Amino acid sequence: MQRELGCCYYPEHWPASQWQDDARRMRAAGLSWVRIGEFAWGRIEPEPGCFQWQWLDQAVAVLHEHGLRVVLGTPTATPPKWVVDRHPDMLPVTAQGRVLGFGSRRHYCFSHVGFREESRRITEAMAQRYGRIVQAWQTDNEYGCHDSTLSYSDSALRGFRAWLQEQYSSIDALNTAWGNVFWSMEYQEFNDIGLPMPTVADTNPMHQLAFRRYTSDQVVAFNRSQVDAIRAHSDAPISHNFMGRITDFDHFAVGQDLDIATWDSYPLGFLEDRVGADAAQQRQFARQGDPDFQAFHHDLYRAVGRGRWWVMEQQPGPVNWAPYNPAPLPGMVRLWTWEAFAHGAEVVSYFRWRQCPFGAELMHSGLLRPDGEAAQGLLEAQTVAQELRDAPAVQPLAAQVGIVFDYDADAAWAIQPHGQGMSYFGLVFDTYKALRRMGLNVDILGPNQRDFNGYEIVLLPGMIHMPEALKTALDLSGALVVVGPRADARDAQLRIPTPLGPQLPGLDTTVSYVESLRPDLPIPLTTGHAVHYREHLDGSAEALLQDHCASAVVVREQQWVYCGAWLDAAALDAVLRPLCDERQLRVYDLPPGLRRRETLGEEFWFNYNDHAVHYASHTLPAAGVLRRDK
Ligand code: GAL
């Protein structure tokens, strides 16, 4: 498949007289796609029902004239002032009850029926006008950005009660499911139930989980109403641009309604405020980004998009929003771009074409400086464009290892982590990193996956509730299945089941009790350590790793392996390497910062280090990419 480049462009930020030259230069730089429109509601509909299409018609026409294809964003992340004046209660409300007002973006609550209708209306108007003209769509912009998923508004309260009624049908059923007898919290009717806003002590976890699930459903419904409005007038593919490490709604469920999943990749910003790396790692990779964080999301969004995915926004230089905003090491923009292609991205599009001299993001770089001169990012994008001209196709290769990622498990962990530093994302990411250190291609799989054909190893770290159908499918799959810690430990309502979990076919092991660990008290194991969290296992399954008292920590019976602890890197290697050998997967022992990705006919090597690396007869310069035939 051909791989292409693009950029994000805001014609409304520049005089119309500049558009021709911009489009010409984009094309000359080797870009094929341009995303526009996603924040332009105020210019499209400055007053209710009074549409100003002329400027947008012209902008689209100019881009087309230069052979560029257009992704049109629906502008619902930035409702203009008049929309808010019309629906003053559409504003989001924080858990502390503070209303977040007009003056930036994402100032809406997903539950607000009136705003959802406005969003459908503007989407439909755009789809009617451009449905047969543009080449792709983007709904809204970054659901969840700026912590905007959960809102505790009156609309949310009304919607939540109605949703609960549908889910539980009787108040007794809800009281039982939530265990409301505990602390005298039984309700008499659905209208008694509030939102899980801060309480004196811990709010009932089932109440919190239900609210997370309700809110996730609102994101899905909001997105679906836009998708339906677009599809009525357009055959062009529809995408949404997701984010890095935003887990508070079910991205797989949103993805079901899209044709393409895209995501916004800001490796340096992420390293500073989202990866969870320690200070030494942040220093080591400050100008390169975490060597696995981007790849993880590439693999995640490939699954969310059911095979079709792009990077819609690629960091081109320093960003403006992280605690520190260094410039990428020369070569990194090229490396990030190639890494996305090696993981299957159809398009990598840079954010943004030109740095904007005004507004909230005036400190955010672009491919061009504010004066229109080329910035470092443009030079590297041009290099990739040239390389693509020489060899545009990258053919995917099916992975033999899969990790299941479950947003609902993430919610359960977030609500009751049981120890500082414990997060579901962190556990899954540690597991992913272990596989990447071995140079393996990894697929991320959704929790509804039931076909494991072609996988030699499937891992389900931390999947706190495992539906029976999933367990059966895994059991029949023939793959080695690595579960735990905290897997199959709760029922769908987060209750502890009896008999205790895990209840996995053919594996005689039970977790008798669990403990979280101080960071300065890891537990030494036969190899490596248990960190953060440890479970005590009963049963006859064979021990693969033990603690210093010879108690089993990782056990195995036939194809099932259960990890009864959060394992550090050494312990993970000790468990996973022999499994790879058993299934004859070719593994490496990659030095820090060196990563490998295999495609059908080629292998790619990526050096995330700020120094050259020599490995297996290759030499990669700092920030270097090696692409070669297998
Ligand atoms: C993204 C967002 C863009 C821009 C960018 C800056 O999260 O979608 O609109 O704000 O960050 O890095």
Tell me 100's DSSP state. P
Question: Residue 25: what pLDDT?
Answer: 98
Count of Cβ atoms closer than 10 Å to residue 180 Cβ: 19
Is the bond preceding residue 88 a cis peptide, omega within 30 degrees? Answer: no
- Whole-number Å distance, alpha carbon 518 to ligand 1 midpoint, is 36
d(CA 265, CA 270): 8
Atom number, ligand 1, closest to the C-alpha of residue 360: 10
The DSSP result for 118-131, as a single string, is HHHHHHHHHHHHHT
Which residue is it, tokens 């030499």?
Answer: 619
Q: Which residues pair with 33 in a beta bridge?
A: 6, 69
- Whole-number Å distance, alpha carbon 319 to ligand 1 midpoint, is 9
Mean pLDDT of 33-41: 98
pLDDT tens per residue across span 271-323: 988 999 999 999 999 999 999 999 999 999 999 999 999 999 999 999 999 99
On whether the CB atoms of residues 5 and 385 are closer than 8 A, the answer is yes
3 state DSSP class of 508: coil
Task: Tell me the best of 74, 142, 245 to mutate to test the pocket of ligand 1, counting ligand atoms within 8 Å of each CB and taking the most.
Answer: 142
Atom number, ligand 1, closest to the C-alpha of residue 39: 9
- 401-582 matches 4-149+217-389 in CATH topology: no
Question: Residue 496: what pLDDT?
Answer: 97
Confidence of residue 392 (pLDDT cuts 50, 70, 90): confident
Q: Atom 9 (ligand 1): residue with closest C-alpha?
A: 141
Atom number, ligand 1, closest to the C-alpha of residue 142: 8
- Whole-number Å distance, alpha carbon 387 to ligand 1 midpoint, is 27
d(CA 151, CA 146): 12
Q: Atom 11 (ligand 1): residue with closest C-alpha?
A: 264
Domain ranges of the chain: 4-149+217-389, 155-207, 401-582, 597-629
Catalytic residue among 4, 142, 387, 456: 142
> Residue 625 above 90 pLDDT?
yes
**Token pair listed for 117:** 């209708």
Count of Cβ atoms closer than 10 Å to residue 49 Cβ: 7
Share of the chain above pLDDT 70, in %: 100
Confidence of residue 142 (pLDDT cuts 50, 70, 90): very high
Question: Residue 269: what pLDDT?
Answer: 96
Burial of 286 (0-12, 13-18, 19+ CB in 10 A): middle
Mean pLDDT of 10-16: 98
CATH superfamily, domain at 4-149+217-389: Glycosidases (3.20.20.80)
Mean pLDDT of 170-177: 98
- Whole-number Å distance, alpha carbon 361 to ligand 1 midpoint, is 9
Q: Atom 1 (ligand 1): residue with closest C-alpha?
A: 264
Mean pLDDT of 388-395: 91
- Whole-number Å distance, alpha carbon 245 to ligand 1 midpoint, is 14
Residue 530 φ then ψ, to 5°: -90, 130
Atom number, ligand 1, closest to the C-alpha of residue 145: 7
Query: What's the 3-state SS for 292-314?
Result: CHHHHHHHHHHHHCCCCEEEEEE
Which residue is it, tokens 């930036």?
Answer: 104
Residue 531 φ then ψ, to 5°: -125, 155
Mean pLDDT of 480-494: 97
Question: Residue 616: what pLDDT?
Answer: 87
Atom number, ligand 1, closest to the C-alpha of residue 243: 7
Question: Residue 271: what pLDDT?
Answer: 96
- pTM exceeds 0.75, yes or no: yes
d(CA 530, CA 424): 16
Task: Tell me the best of 313, 314, 319, 321 to mutate to test the pocket of ligand 1, counting ligand atoms within 8 Å of each CB and taking the most.
Answer: 313
The DSSP result for 136-200, as a single string, is EEE-SS-TTGGG-S----HHHHHHHHHHHHHHHSSHHHHHHHHTTTTTT---SSGGG-------S
Q: Residue 65 catalytic?
A: no
Task: Name which of 9, 594, 600, 598 is nearest 335 in CA terms.
Answer: 594
**Token pair listed for 460:** 């389900």
CATH superfamily, domain at 401-582: Class I glutamine amidotransferase (GATase) domain (3.40.50.880)
Q: Residue 313 catalytic?
A: yes
**Token pair listed for 588:** 């490496």
Question: Residue 248: what pLDDT?
Answer: 96
pLDDT tens per residue across span 192-209: 999 999 999 999 999 999
Task: Name which of 409, 438, 423, 401 is nearest 566 in CA terms.
Answer: 423
Question: Residue 575: what pLDDT?
Answer: 98
Burial of 618 (0-12, 13-18, 19+ CB in 10 A): middle
> Residue 242 above 90 pLDDT?
yes
Catalytic residue among 45, 272, 313, 602: 313
pLDDT tens per residue across span 404-443: 999 999 999 999 999 999 999 999 999 999 999 999 999 9
- Whole-number Å distance, alpha carbon 340 to ligand 1 midpoint, is 18
Q: Atom 5 (ligand 1): residue with closest C-alpha?
A: 351
> Residue 75 above 90 pLDDT?
yes
d(CA 555, CA 572): 13
Residues with CB under 6 A from ligand 1: 141-142, 145, 264, 266, 313, 319, 321, 351, 361, 364
In angstroms, the Cα distances linking 1 to 138, 177, 337, 339, 602 are 22, 49, 16, 15, 14
d(CA 370, CA 453): 51
Residue 230 φ then ψ, to 5°: -70, -45
Whole-number average pLDDT of the chain: 97
Mean pLDDT of 353-380: 98
Atom number, ligand 1, closest to the C-alpha of residue 319: 12
| β-strand pairing of 401-404 with 457-460 | parallel
- Whole-number Å distance, alpha carbon 149 to ligand 1 midpoint, is 16
Question: Residue 1: what pLDDT?
Answer: 82
- Whole-number Å distance, alpha carbon 10 to ligand 1 midpoint, is 13
d(CA 205, CA 211): 10
Q: Atom 10 (ligand 1): residue with closest C-alpha?
A: 361
Q: Atom 12 (ligand 1): residue with closest C-alpha?
A: 319
Mean pLDDT of 120-137: 98
> Residue 2 above 90 pLDDT?
no
